[in-house]
Amino acid sequence: MRVSLGLTGRGVLCALASATLAMTLPPTAAAPAPGEAPRVPFAERYRATLHGGVARAANSAATCLEPATAAAPSCAAARGGTATGDNGDYEMTYVDVDDDPNTYNSSRAELRLPAGARVTHARLYWGGNLRVGEQKDPQDNGRVLLAEEGGRYKEVLADTVVGHRRTDVMDGYSASADVTHIVAHSGGGTYTVGQLNVAKGHSAAGAWGGWTLVAAYEHPDEPLRHVVLVDGYEPLHSARRSVGHTVRNLPVAPGATGSAGVVAYDGDRGRSGEAMTVRVEGSPAYRVRDAANPADDPFNSTITDHGRPTTGRLPSYPNTLGYDSDVHGVTPAFARGGDSVTFRFTTTRSEGYQVGALFLQVDARR
């Protein structure tokens, strides 16, 4: 799937940004993360105006094994999207599609780039729940394995503070790392992510986990666009039902077209009371929705592009049972234009969802 976004660098990255290694290390080796926090406020990571976009690949790391409650539909019906089910209704297990006996989970997704594109930046986001029927050690939160098509696994270490929130019912986290040198060299194709720290079993919260790879590129045939990437770790719950972030000093022309992507954890399908809005200064907020993501349940365990399921994933379950990586069309928000764009996420549930990253594109010319 290709989403037209583009990125450039911001800020000072931790020295561990260079620690994505070209060699494969034993999957059992522990990797210290650059610190953890129960909340990492949203911050702007990249902004650019360029001819180009972003290609995105994403997949989940956990799925159902069998129902654990009497009312739950079959596992096949739930993950296939023909019946509503959430991860707390099932005995959950790992997704594992590679043939490597040293990895206990792995999944794949295709990164599609236009011919002749030059990758300027790439970043990998991943996260999951460490406490379900089993409890996983958090020391591996900041470590995953990444392989390009036809390549071997390379260790990737988090280069920013890892968001990690423990409660009585869950133990969730989100991490990310710069992987530009890997993706710029390898280009498009199928990428595999393995050894994502995630637990299996059954609990009321359920298991969840997944990853998203975004790759910014330049291409002379692409429109000129403003692009912003924001990330952090923002959990929503009974004591914090609303979270927002404003992108300032961003000139949006009246009638500009654009889209917004979001990475989130533990969104349950069929449970209403959630919302994501986009508002340009001086205009009404636009409530995000599309064919796959209802306005009152946008975090419903999907990996979609403008309401369509993405292709090129293995496995390609329509219901990821707890992981969201969606790109939404938000052009109606830009009808009047303005100089700032505000994202807001809300929930009415006691344990809502957790947002790890969001990205915005707006055409620089109408």
Express each pLDDT in 167-223 by its tens digit.
999 999 999 999 999 999 999 999 999 999 999 999 999 999 999 998 888 999 999
Helices (H), 10-134: 75-79
Percent of residues, the chain, with pLDDT higher than 90: 80
Q: Where are the beta strands (DSSP E) in 132-250?
A: 143-147, 154-157, 162-166, 171-178, 189-194, 209-218, 224-237, 242-247
pTM over 0.85: yes
Of the candidates 107, 80, 92, the residue with the CA atom closest to the CA atom of residue 208: 92
Q: Smallest Cα–Cα separation from 320: which of 225, 240, 244, 210?
A: 210
**Tokens coding 19:** 């620690």
What is the structure's pLDDT at 264?
Answer: 98
Strand partners, 91: 66
Answer whether residue 365 shows pLDDT above 70. Answer: yes
Instruction: Give the strand pairing for 323-329 and 303-305.
Output: parallel
Dist. CA 15–CA 22, nearest whole Å: 17
- The predicted pLDDT at position 41 comes to 97
pLDDT tens digits, 126-180? 999 999 999 999 999 999 999 999 999 999 999 999 999 999 999 999 999 999 9
Which of these, 318, 313, 265, lies nearest to 291 by C-alpha position? 318
Q: What is residue 149's predicted lDDT score, i.e. its pLDDT?
A: 94
> What one-character DSSP code corresponds to residue 141?
T
Mean pLDDT of 349-360: 92
> For residue 64, which phi and psi values (nearest 5 degrees)?
-85, 155
Instruction: Yes or no: say if 192 and 322 are a contact pair by the CB < 8 Å rule.
Output: no
Beta bridge pairs of residue 50: 225
**Dist CA 243 CA 148 (whole Å):** 35
DSSP code, position 77: H
| pLDDT on residue 53 | 83
Instruction: Report the pLDDT value the prediction gives residue 20, as an integer from 0 to 100.
Output: 36
Widest Cα–Cα separation across the chain: 56
Q: What is the pLDDT of residue 128?
A: 98
Asked if residue 11 has pLDDT above 70, the reply is: no
Distance between CA atoms of residues 57 and 124, nearest Å:
9
Give the pLDDT confidence score for residue 13 in this predicted structure.
Answer: 32
Dihedral angle sign, alpha carbons of residues 331, 360, 263, 112: positive
What is residue 215's predicted lDDT score, i.e. its pLDDT? 87
- Quick: pLDDT tens for 292-351: 999 999 999 999 999 999 999 999 999 999 999 999 999 999 999 999 999 999 999 988
Q: How confident is the model at residue 366 (pLDDT cuts 50, 70, 90)?
A: low
Q: How far is Cα 260 from Cα 227, in angstroms, rounded to an integer?
A: 10
Q: Give the pLDDT mean for 216-236.
A: 92
What pLDDT is stored for residue 21 in this prediction? Answer: 35
- pLDDT band for position 361 (50/70/90)? confident
pLDDT of residue 351: 87
Q: Which of 63-72, 137-146, 225-234, 336-345 has the lowest mean pLDDT?
A: 225-234
Residue 2 scores a pLDDT above 80? no
**Of 9-23, 78-92, 286-300, where does mean pLDDT reach its minimum?**
9-23
